[in-house]
Amino acid sequence: MTVGLRGHGVALHRDGATVEPNRSWRRDGDVDGGGGVVAMEVRVARVHDPRTARDGYRVLVDRLWPRGISKAAADLDEWCREVAPSAPLRQWYGHVPDRFPEFRQRYRTELSTGDAATAVERLRRAGSGRGRC
């Protein structure tokens, strides 16, 4: 699964792991519904980056559509606004590095409730090949 970002940033997985842009993160050991083990790789890339053969399911995680790129040019499988940090959380964080540990905790809380939790589960299913979102 590739997670697209409008600019430079960090993707935060539900369990708190972070992935820097243009890097990969692999999670082994998730158990699927059939008792098997699922390995899922999450890669973070800029939304302006062209699709590659490695991309798999491409998702934009942001509340706002990025400037300068059409939806057709982005070549996404999904735009998942619900998983992006809320506006109040983003405004509080303000890209102040010292706030990142608390931002991460607050964001994890957001991802575990309501529409965000539902969207995270749909993305997990899509990323593991068990269905589209």
Q: For 17-42, what is each residue's pLDDT tens digit? A: 444 444 444 444 444 445 444 456 77
Residue 26: strand, helix, or coil: strand
Amino acid at 9: G
Question: For the chain, which residues make up each domain, given as ranges?
Answer: 2-127
Per-residue model confidence as pLDDT tens digits over 45-99: 889 989 888 888 889 999 999 999 999 999 999 999 999 999 999 999 999 999 9
